[in-house]
Structure formats: structure tokens, C-alpha cells
Structure 1
């Protein structure tokens, strides 16, 4: 049923259920109670399930609990939370259907100690890696394959679920959630580094809400009601993370600190991306790509056929609902007769209105996106402008201070750029700037940001980047610029200055030191990278 129609019926039937009696519904969580499942807790605690006519029981997961997909397929639960590996079961012919993908990006990452000298997937060759079984770690393995790492060159160990194995050096890398285990290392005062698959082009869905095909066939209205109430729970949880964290601690996870839950909430918001993507959104093409990755890793056999895997609501045309409501009493009988007489006309009216509103909302989104682009990007290069960079950098600096993460910036200036404009004209100079902007983009990780600061100057923000990380990135950019323009006979080079955030330093001071390092690079002969001394040595 369309959401607008569902809202109308809920308003009319606030005290009634979808059935004569509230269906008892069970949801199997993937892990122990934590912010990772906040939307379902909110839907239960704030009565959203009850308003939808459902009595819902949430079953905690964990290493000793039933595996969600196995419990679902065995008929022990009605709904389950699964990783993107659920698509493997569908390719094997299991009747499992994906209703919504809560996380648009997987939180799985290789967690390493900062003092281990491991910064890239290639650095993991010959190392001891502790990972989850089977396809649970598929995105981590897919990243290694994509980067040309032979899995036979790794010592792969089954996870112990004990982070002390990493802390005490029994393993070199640990299959972790970036929203969870890093907090534990932070509390122990241990610096760490995350190698994230999405930084290397591997981007899987995570925490996928799934159901058995038979439930969808037999109770489509129940599935729709549960899905809509759950998504509304997630909207409220993400809108008020501190309130939600306190509720989770009080009712579900008293052993977790509020600070830990809030750390998890902040990380999850970045993975769910509610400002950019509709909650639960799933792209068929992306699922196809994920399925093909599993086939390439040997977890499933091809060819990939995902027919029926993605959920399509069936309750919009379920005309038996009005008759089921009649069991609620005389009032419901009267209401059912009214609905039976006017249902088709009301449905058509609601659909037309919904289509009109969706069209208006889409135009507004497009208009807002265009306004945002114009206000925040450089018209020539398409990079962020100075205003947007300062806004993001300020937020990242606050986050770095809060969680003790390193942060660096790279100030870059093209050498001998003025003669290009003087000799060949500004159009040629503009072409050079656009080319350089694209070269910088190609060198960055997903978490890095770049802006055109002005003229031929560029600034790169490197969150979670220590001086060594930023220096290596700056060298890579410098070499790409030199190689590209040497090949074209242009002779363009770049000078770069690197600075890392000091303990009490603000953005202005950080940029001043990076600019000073850039000046040193110019003075030393150009086409080189210089690193600013730490604040304490300045």
C-alpha cells in the first residue's frame, strides 16, 4: 500500500489492528543489542509497531545465538537482519527476499595498530589476518583481490571475537566494524588505522532487512506495516541520536556507555547517509554487482539471477483487508462497507496526489541540489570552493579532537603557471587547472576532500591522516602532475606543503603552517613536498 494511503488508514484505525488480533512478529538481530539496531528499538519503544497492529519481539544475536538467515529459513522467526551475503542464499534458490538495506555502505574494515606500519591492502601481504567466517568478510576479501593481493599470500585466521588478539600482537589485522571496535582501542589509548573497502572501490550494502517469501505471499499487509514502522523508527533514531542512545542503554544495552553508543551513532549516520539516500533504498544494478563479486570470490555459482529478490509491495491491491477489519466489531463493519464502496476512487485519488507530490518533491530536490552545487563548488574545476572546504574542515577538526584521530592538510600550488596564461591564453590555463583537479581526485581516498583555494592553489583535507599518510599522498599527487604534463610537453609541476593538526590548533593556524611548508618547497627549488614541523616545535 502506498505510504499516503497507509497513513490515512492508520489515522482512521488508531486503535485497531491489521487483523482481528495483533500478529506476534519476531525479528532476529545480527548481533548483540547496540545502536546498530536503533530503528527497531525506537519503533518498539515509541509504539510504532503497536500503531501498525503488530506485537513485535526483538531477538538478540551474537556468537552463541542463532544465525539470522538460518533462523528465518527454518521458520523460527518472521524477519531477520542480514549482511549483503543474503544474495548468495537467493542465488542458491532459497526463498529469501530483501526488504530494505539500512546501511548504504558496509562498516567492515581491517583494523590495525598505528604502529604496525600497515597502511594499504598491499601492506597486508604475509600478515596474520583475523576475519569472520565464510562470506561475512566478503567485502574485505574483495578489496584485497581488487588491489591484486593473492589470498594465498595471507595467513587467514578465524575470528576469536577478542580484540586483545590485535592489541597484544597475536594478529596483525582484525575484521572490525568501524563503528564499534575502534572505540575500544581508543579507550585503551591505542592508536589505530582503518583500511576501508569503500576507499578501494568495494561498496556493499549492510544490515539488510529480509523476510521469507511465504510470509510476503500470505501476509503482504503485515510485511508492509512492519517495514514502514521500522523505517519510521530509523528516521526518528537518526534524528535524535542522543535521546536514542539513552533509551538503548536504559532498555537494551546497560553494559554499554553512552559515549560508546553515541560514537556508534555518529559512525552509522555516515554509513546510512539519510540526507542523501532514502532510508532502506536498494539499487538493482548495485545488487547485481555485489552478487557478481560473491561469484568471483567463489562463494556462489553463476550466472546471477536476482528475479524476485528485491521486495515489491503487494498489499496495495489486497482488497481482503477491509473484510478482515470487520471482525473488530460493528464500527469496523460500518467502516469496511464505506471503504468497499469508495476504495477504488480513494485509492486513485491518493495515487494521483502521491504522484503529484513526488514530482514536486523531485523538482525541489533537483533545485536544492543545484543550489547546493552552485554555492559549494568551483565553477571551473567542479571541486569544492573555499567556503565549503572551511565548513567541512571545521567539522572534521571537531571530530578529530573528540575522538583523538589524526588530521592533515596539503597545500598545493602549481609552479610557473602564470607563463601558461601569458603565452597560450587563459583558456589553455583553464584546461590545465581542470586536468590537475581531475588528477588530484584520482589520487584521493573516499574520505579525503579537495578544493580549489584560489587561482592555481589547491587544498586537500586528509581526515584520519597522520603526517606520513599525508606526505605519501602529496608525493603521489606531485608525481602524477609532473608525469602528466611531461607527457604532454607542458612542463607543469607542483609544490606542496603538508601540515598535521596540533593539539590546540584551529583551522587558520593549520593552514598557515601548511602554507609555510609550501613556501619552503618553492624556496627549495619547486616540484617537491615539504612537511611543516609540529606545533610544539614551531
Structure 2
């Protein structure tokens, strides 16, 4: 019988080391592949500027690195390949596009919209202030520059919606040089409201904007996109890139000065700090971070954008959005969090039980008195609440229709008895439906509330404001004749049009004014003001019309 031979310690160590090295060599291809998969390339659609600050900040602040990503950012610009083409050819992993992305999708190209940074497009026509161009209709017969499709889509759709045939314009290919507007080589320059206006201000050249948003045309812009294949192969990396990018945008918008300095120093030294700061402030209004979650995309709005391209003949249907709008799919393991929360909840329940027992023992004698006091207070509060609900509009806080009718009947009786003048103003928010369609009803409610607050703050204590229904308001003005009411209405119209109500959303109003005549009831008075409101709408909106005895408009 032979005894086992023990391996010397040195030899055992050498054998173990060889085994570990062999295992590492076997894993090297997998490790290399995993590391390569985490390298991401982003293709921008223009030269470096604040327009891409969120991605720069995500890189500079280490948000990409914290997400396990190595990101390269490549600029675009004149002469550079189209970012969408680079994406489809596999030369980049992510790209920035405008809303024309949906056209490529309808053509069957496997693209996915990940996040819309700008909720409103900055594209606009810029004209000189000393020209006779104020509206899209005024462009007929004029020279107007256009960027290549689909960059120019918002401008073309504006023309179509306003009944202007593009053949009526002398269309020019854009020169990307606003000096052509100053030199008279074009009458309308296509540019970004975040860029060229600053340059014109520096040149001391007054200008006007023909902004598609003012005519109900409002598209997404700077949409982060990728191809379907990458999303299917690396869903976790795509999600990590999106979240790190949005984190970078949030940082950039919360720290504008720091971000402007960094963009100037590292990426756009040829642009002045003042120019970049102007661009940052304008773009923040278009991104609207206070109103809309960063990157938010509404399927209904994408549907409307796609339909606009179809109407313009820039795309062919059908419109299929399935798989086009990205949905978060990465699941996270929250088991440890749930355990911690469960333990904390158990401790809170135990402490709460002891505290509740002690409270019951110490407050038992005073419980009945408190119950009686609470019941009496609740009854008073309930009565006040019922009265408030019956008399005020729940959304705007102004008088309800029922309450204004009661007040109006009383004022008509007072006017009949003492001969006091009495005026009524009927107000309607122009194109309010487009606000709901483009931004959603929550933003629409904010606009209604903002209009009511702005009007109420400039009325007299004796005037009464009521939400008549939808986007319509009525103002009752005792001791006020027709001329005085007209002047007040004109002032209110100017206040509404002067500046946006919320973020970059501005509205205008049409006003109808009428004065009570002896023998009239409330219905007749409202009808007269409503006729004038209809006239204001017919004459182009954003105006005030007043009723005179010679007016005989048909019923609406």
C-alpha cells in the first residue's frame, strides 16, 4: 500500500495562479465586448452652442460616467452629414433631430424618439421692422428664405393654414447669413428666435418675428433619437444614456450662468458670453421645465405633427406610432428598499400604538367638548363652502354664471330706478382650443386662471368678473357708459397681448362691449355684447368692438 504524495506549497501556489490566469483569459473577450458596448456616440445637428448644453453638462459633470457610459459628442453644421443618416448607417448611436423624425418613421426607417427637449420650435421668419410685413399674408410677392425640408415645415404649414399659396412667395434657399436681411438680399430670413435676434440687436437693426406658434403651429424640436436595433440590443445602456442626458439638461437649466461659461470655454469660444446667455434664456422658455417634465412627448401631439406633414405633402401615410415613442422598460430591484421601509413602518406602528394609548388616557375627559366644538365648526365651514361653490367658478375663483346673473339683475333694477349707466363686456380667449391641443388641458387650465387673474387685478372694486363658460368671460361695470367701458376693455386687451401668461405661452382676447338700454333684460344686454364679440372675431381677433344702436348683425 502506497502513501499519497503531498504537493509542495510552492507548486500548489503556481498551479492556482495558472488556473486563475487561464480563467481570466477565457473571460477577456466577454469583458472587452461589454466595455465596447458601453461606449456611446452622440451626433448633434448643428455647431456647438447652448442648444446642446444638457449633453455637454452631462459629460462635464460626470453624469454619463456615473451611469457607466463613455460618451463622445460630435458637432454638426453646414457640410456635415445628416444626423439621421449617420444614425441609420450605424456611424453614431444617438442623434438630435427635429420633428421631421416622424417623416423618416413613416417611411419605414427604424427610428425611435427618446425625449423631446424643446416643447416648442424656435423656427421663425425674421423681417426688418421698417418693412411692410406683419403677417404671413404680407409675404405674398416677397423674397423669403427657407431651410431645406423638413427644417422649414413649420413655416410652410403656417402659410397653408393662413391661406397663402407658397407659389405666391419668391422662395430662396437659406444662406445661413442674417447679413442678407440687412443688405436687402431677402425680405424674410428663416432663423431661430434664440440666435439671429441677438445678432440683429447687436447690429442695432430693429426687427419683427413671424412666429408659427402664434398661428397654431407648434412642433417639438431637438428630439433625442436612436435606432430600434440599439434599443433592442442594449436597453439598459439606452435608458442610462437618456436619464444621464436629462439630468445634464436639468443641471444646465438650473445653473444657467455656470453652463454658459462652460459652453463658451470648452465648446463655443467663438460665441460671446452675452450671445450664449441670450440663447440660454430663450431656449429655457421653449423647453418650459416649470410646466412640462423634461423630455416629455405626447402621442396625440406627435399624431397632429405627422398629420401636418401629410397635409403638406412632405410624407405619405399611414401614421403608425407603435414603437416610435420610447417607453421606459428597465426594471430596478427595490427589494432592499422595501425591507428598509418595512422595518421602519413596523417601528412607526409600534411607537404610534404607544403614543395613541397615552393620548387616549390623557384626553378622555376633554373629548366630548372637542367633538361638540368640531361639529359646530364643521357645520359653519360646510355652509360657507356650499355658498362658495354655488357662487364661484371652481377653476378661476371668479363669480359663477349663476352668481353674475343674480348680480346683473340687481344692477339692472338699480339702473332702471336711478338712471345710472351700466355696461357689459363679453371676452373670449383667441384660439384657446389650440392651447389645449398642443399643451394639454392642465396647461389650458393654467391659461384660463392666468387670464382671469390678470383681468381681475386691473378692474375696479365695483366691477364684477365671471367665467361665463369655457374660455368666455363677462365683466359687469356699474356706473359706466359705453365709451368708458370701451376704454377699459381696450386696456385689458393690451394687457393680455403684452406678455406671455405662463412660460412662453401667450394669448390674446377678443372683446364685445354693450351698454344697457331702458327696457332691456339681461339676455338682450348679453346678446348685444356677444354680437360685438362675434364682430371682433370676424375682423381678425385681438380687438374690441362696441355696440351702437345702428348695429344689426345676425344671430350667431
Bin the TM-score by the shorter chain: 0.5 to 0.7
- Counterpart of 1:30? 45
- Counterpart of 1:202? 217
- CA deviations 1:232-282 (Å, max 9, x no partner) are 000000001111000000000001111111101110111000000000000
- Counterpart of 2:455? 451
The two structures, once aligned, show a CA RMSD in angstroms of 4.3
Deviating more after overlay: 151-160 vs 266-275? 151-160
- Partner Cα separation in structure 1 for residue 400 and residue 136 of structure 2: 31
Q: Does the C-alpha gap of structure 1 residues 21 and 489 become closer, same or farther in structure 2, counting only changes over 3 Å? A: closer
**Structure 2: tracts of 5 or more residues without a match:** 1-30, 343-391, 402-407, 436-443, 464-476, 478-487, 501-506, 516-522, 534-543, 551-556
- Counterpart of 2:136? 121
Q: Does the C-alpha gap of structure 1 residues 437 and 28 become closer, same or farther in structure 2, counting only changes over 3 Å? A: same
**TM superposition shift of 1:152:** 1.4
- Partner Cα separation in structure 2 for residue 34 and residue 153 of structure 1: 35
The structure 2 residue matched to 1:315, chosen from 330, 334, 337, is 330
**Structure 1: tracts of 5 or more residues without a match:** 1-15, 318-342, 353-372, 383-415, 466-472, 495-517, 528-538
Question: Contact 1:481/1:492 (CA < 8 Å) preserved in 2?
Answer: no
**TM superposition shift of 1:120:** 1.2
- Partner Cα separation in structure 2 for residue 56 and residue 164 of structure 1: 37
- Partner Cα separation in structure 2 for residue 84 and residue 430 of structure 1: 52
Q: How many residues align?
A: 393
The structure 2 residue matched to 1:379, chosen from 398, 409, 416, is 398
- Counterpart of 1:73? 88
- Partner Cα separation in structure 2 for residue 444 and residue 308 of structure 1: 27
SS of 2:427's equivalent in the other structure is helix
Q: Does the C-alpha gap of structure 1 residues 444 and 83 become closer, same or farther in structure 2, counting only changes over 3 Å? A: closer
- Partner Cα separation in structure 2 for residue 21 and residue 285 of structure 1: 38
**TM superposition shift of 1:72:** 0.6
**TM superposition shift of 1:195:** 1.1
Question: Contact 1:482/1:492 (CA < 8 Å) preserved in 2?
Answer: no
- Counterpart of 1:164? 179
The structure 1 residue matched to 2:77, chosen from 59, 62, 85, is 62
- Partner Cα separation in structure 2 for residue 215 and residue 430 of structure 1: 69
Q: Does the C-alpha gap of structure 1 residues 122 and 18 become closer, same or farther in structure 2, counting only changes over 3 Å? A: farther
Q: Does the C-alpha gap of structure 1 residues 378 and 422 become closer, same or farther in structure 2, counting only changes over 3 Å? A: farther
- Partner Cα separation in structure 2 for residue 418 and residue 182 of structure 1: 53
- CA deviations 1:37-76 (Å, max 9, x no partner) are 0100000000110111111111111011121111111111
Q: Does the C-alpha gap of structure 1 residues 430 and 218 become closer, same or farther in structure 2, counting only changes over 3 Å? A: farther
Question: Radius of gyration: which is bigger?
Answer: 2
Q: Does the C-alpha gap of structure 1 residues 61 and 378 become closer, same or farther in structure 2, counting only changes over 3 Å? A: same
Q: Does the C-alpha gap of structure 1 residues 347 and 296 become closer, same or farther in structure 2, counting only changes over 3 Å? A: farther
Q: Does the C-alpha gap of structure 1 residues 162 and 421 become closer, same or farther in structure 2, counting only changes over 3 Å? A: farther
SS of 2:260's equivalent in the other structure is helix
**Equivalent residues in 2 for 1:180-329 (5 A)?**
180-316=195-331
Q: Does the C-alpha gap of structure 1 residues 488 and 95 become closer, same or farther in structure 2, counting only changes over 3 Å? A: same
Q: Does the C-alpha gap of structure 1 residues 50 and 439 become closer, same or farther in structure 2, counting only changes over 3 Å? A: closer
SS of 1:88's equivalent in the other structure is helix
The structure 2 residue matched to 1:174, chosen from 163, 174, 189, is 189
- Counterpart of 2:428? 438
**TM superposition shift of 1:492:** 9.1
- CA deviations 1:279-326 (Å, max 9, x no partner) are 000000000000000000001012211111001233328xxxxxxxxx
- Partner Cα separation in structure 2 for residue 375 and residue 262 of structure 1: 40
Matched, 1:488 2:527: yes
What TM-score do you get using the length of structure 1 for normalisation? 0.65
- Partner Cα separation in structure 2 for residue 131 and residue 123 of structure 1: 16
Q: Does the C-alpha gap of structure 1 residues 191 and 350 become closer, same or farther in structure 2, counting only changes over 3 Å? A: farther
- CA deviations 1:314-346 (Å, max 9, x no partner) are 3328xxxxxxxxxxxxxxxxxxxxxxxxx5845
- Partner Cα separation in structure 1 for residue 499 and residue 530 of structure 2: 33
- Partner Cα separation in structure 2 for residue 147 and residue 349 of structure 1: 61
- Partner Cα separation in structure 2 for residue 161 and residue 485 of structure 1: 57
The structure 2 residue matched to 1:98, chosen from 113, 118, 132, is 113
